[in-house]
């Protein structure tokens, strides 16, 4: 899936609407229920045997179901041999005020061309994740293609979840739940380092809660303060900063200018750890 500047970049799929199911007999009803049960079972098997946490799906704190990510949706799409059609259905570009918004529709059909479902999704530079960077001086135009790709991704994942009837297994992608991001790294660092207050009570902000109260205090922290921070997910989930390979920390720092990186607090921790 790639963003393009026209609605005709992809050849239109020949899609035909599915025929109405014949549910007049118990046999046909049983066959329909069995087909649905088999599909859901395949999704659950794929989650257990193929999909990997932090690669194909992730977790939103406070929810019971993992969120399906694009790599996981792509595996399900290939497994069921679904065909996809991506179309831009609306766009708004205001270069003077730096506002870009795009809506894409993802159409899923069976390998025989039968329509399964359609889902639309929108992404805009006015969303908090992009607006914060724009407010800090980043040109809005640099996010233009990023929001296109994000709208495509959202539509794609939503269509796959609907087609696979797996909303009970996976929830929405965590990039569209801005208020439910992972706990800030400062709290995790403090809890991992010691249950007692660090020297000078730098992290004390409330009963049972510890964090750096300011960027200045974080900059004054020592390498030892951060060495016990444990990565909660990812390739080195469960490892502390002090025991994580340096090349992985290098990779995290390369994500500093990537607005789609899910864990900007990791960047904060690595930079403070290396200072």
Q: Has this prediction a pTM greater than 0.85?
A: no
**pLDDT score at 101:** 95
- The length of the chain is 275
pLDDT digits (tens, 9 = 90+) for 143-199: 999 999 999 999 999 999 999 988 888 877 655 444 444 333 333 333 333 333 333
**Of 204, 211, 206, whose CA–CA distance to 190 is shortest?**
211
User: With bands split at pLDDT 50, 70 and 90, how would you rate the model's confidence at 79?
Assistant: very high
Q: Cα separation of 190 and 264, whole Å?
A: 17
DSSP string, 107-128: EEE-TTSBEEEEEEEEEETTSH
Q: Are 198 and 189 in contact (CB under 8 A)?
A: no
Lowest-confidence pick of 33-37, 46-50, 52-56, 175-179? 175-179
DSSP string, 145-195: HHHHHHHHHHHHHHHHHHHTT-TTT-B--GGG-TTSPPPPHHHHHHHHH-S
Taking 80 as the threshold, does the pLDDT of residue 109 lie above it?
A: yes
């Amino acid at each position: 899936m790639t963003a393009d500047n026209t609605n005709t970049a992809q050849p239109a799929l020949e899609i035909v609407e599915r025929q109405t199911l014949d549910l007049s007999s118990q046999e046909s009803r049983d066959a329909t229920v069995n087909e649905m049960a088999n599909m859901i079972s395949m999704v659950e098997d794929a989650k257990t045997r193929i999909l990997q946490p932090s690669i194909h799906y992730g977790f939103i704190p406070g929810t019971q179901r993992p969120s399906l990510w694009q790599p996981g949706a792509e595996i399900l799409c290939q497994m069921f041999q679904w065909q996809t059609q991506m179309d831009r259905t609306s766009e708004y570009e205001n270069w003077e005020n730096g506002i870009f918004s795009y809506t894409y529709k993802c159409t899923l059909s069976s390998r025989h061309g039968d329509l399964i479902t359609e889902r639309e999704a929108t992404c805009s530079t006015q969303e908090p994740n992009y607006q914060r960077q724009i407010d800090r001086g980043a040109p809005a135009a640099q996010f233009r293609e990023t929001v296109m790709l994000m709208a495509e991704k959202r539509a794609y994942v939503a269509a796959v979840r609907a087609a696979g009837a797996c909303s009970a297994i996976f929830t929405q992608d965590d990039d569209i739940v801005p208020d439910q991001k992972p706990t800030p790294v400062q709290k995790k660092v403090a809890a991992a380092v010691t249950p007692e207050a660090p020297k000078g009570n730098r992290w004390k902000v409330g009963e049972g809660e510890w964090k750096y109260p300011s960027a200045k205090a974080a900059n004054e922290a020592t390498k030892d303060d951060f060495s016990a921070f444990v990565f909660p997910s990812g390739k080195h989930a469960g490892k502390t900063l002090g025991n994580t390979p340096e090349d992985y920390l290098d990779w995290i720092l390369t994500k500093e200018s990537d607005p789609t990186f899910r864990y900007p607090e990791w960047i904060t921790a690595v930079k403070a750890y290396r200072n």
